[in-house]
Amino acid sequence: MINLEVPKKFRPLVDQAHQVAVEFFRANSRKYDRAEHAVPKELNMLASLLDGMNDSGAGGGTGASGVRRDTVDHAENKNGSNLSTCLGIMELCWGDVGLLLAMPRQGLGNSAIASVANAEQLERFKGRWAAMAITEPGCGSDSANIRTTAVLDGDHYVLNGEKIYVTSGDRADLVVVWATLDRAVGRAAIKSFVVEKGTPGFELVRLEHKLGIRASDTAAFALKDVRVPKENLLGDPEVNVEKGFAGVMQTFDNTRPLVAAMAIGLTRACLEETWKLLDTAGLSVDYRRPSLVQSSAAATLLGLEADYEAARLLTLQAAWMADNRKPNSLQASMAKAKAGRTCVDVALKCVEIAGSLGYAEGNGGAGLLEKWARDAKILDIFEGTQQIQLLIVARRLLGKSSAELK
What's the pLDDT at 3? 66
Candidate list 273, 370, 383, 404, residue with the active-site label: 383
What is the residue-wise DSSP string for 185-241? T-GGGEEEEEEETT-TTEEEEEE---SS-TTS-EEEEEEEEEEEEGGGEES--S--T
Helix (H) or strand (E) holding 393: helix 386-398
Residue 59 has pLDDT above 50, yes or no: no
Domain boundary assignment for the chain: 8-124, 130-234, 246-398
**CA 182 to chain centroid:** 29
Residue 52 has, within 13 A of its CA and on its CB side, a CA count of 11
- The long-range contacts involving 300-308, CB below 8 angstroms and separated by at least 24 positions, are 300/349, 300/353, 301/271, 301/274, 301/275, 301/353, 304/271, 304/342, 304/345, 304/346, 304/349, 304/350, 305/271, 307/338, 307/342, 307/345, 307/346, 308/264, 308/267, 308/268, 308/271, 308/342, 308/346
Active site residue 361: no
Residue 23 has pLDDT above 80, yes or no: yes
Q: What would the pLDDT profile of 266-275 be if each residue is shown by its tens digit? A: 999 999 999 9
Cα distances from 376 to residues 144, 211, 250, 382, in angstroms, run 26, 10, 25, 11
Q: Is 286 exposed, middle or buried (0-12, 13-18, 19+ CB in 10 A)?
A: exposed
Overall average pLDDT of the 11-15 stretch: 93
Cα distances from 60 to residues 67, 100, 219, 257, in angstroms, run 11, 21, 27, 19
Q: What would the pLDDT profile of 135-145 be if each residue is shown by its tens digit? A: 999 887 777 78
Residue 100 has pLDDT above 50, yes or no: yes
What's the pLDDT at 81? 84
Q: How many CB atoms lie within 10 A of CB 292?
A: 6
CATH 3.40.190.10 for domain 130-234, yes or no, is no
Residue 90 has pLDDT above 50, yes or no: yes
Q: Among 7-11, 142-146, 308-312, which stretch is predicted with the lowest mean pLDDT?
A: 142-146
Average pLDDT, the chain: 89
171 neighbors 181 (Cβ within 8 angstroms): no
* 3 state SS of 299: helix
DSSP 242: T
Please count the residues of the chain: 406
Q: What are phi and psi of 180, to 5 degrees?
A: -105, 140
CATH number of 8-124: 1.10.540
CA-CA distance, 229 to 152, in Å (whole number)? Answer: 10
Helix (H) or strand (E) holding 156: strand 156-167
Q: What are phi and psi of 3, to 5 degrees?
A: -95, 135
CA-CA distance, 406 to 401, in Å (whole number)? Answer: 9
CA-CA distance, 32 to 215, in Å (whole number)? Answer: 5
* pLDDT-based confidence at residue 248 (cuts at 50, 70, 90): low
CATH number of 246-398: 1.20.140.10
Q: What would the pLDDT profile of 345-392 be if each residue is shown by its tens digit? A: 999 999 999 999 999 998 888 899 999 999 999 999 998 899 999 999
Q: What would the pLDDT profile of 34-55 be if each residue is shown by its tens digit? A: 999 999 988 988 877 556 544 5
Q: What are phi and psi of 217, to 5 degrees?
A: -85, 145
Written as one letter, the residue type at 65 is: S
Q: What would the pLDDT profile of 108-130 be if each residue is shown by its tens digit? A: 898 889 888 999 999 999 989 99
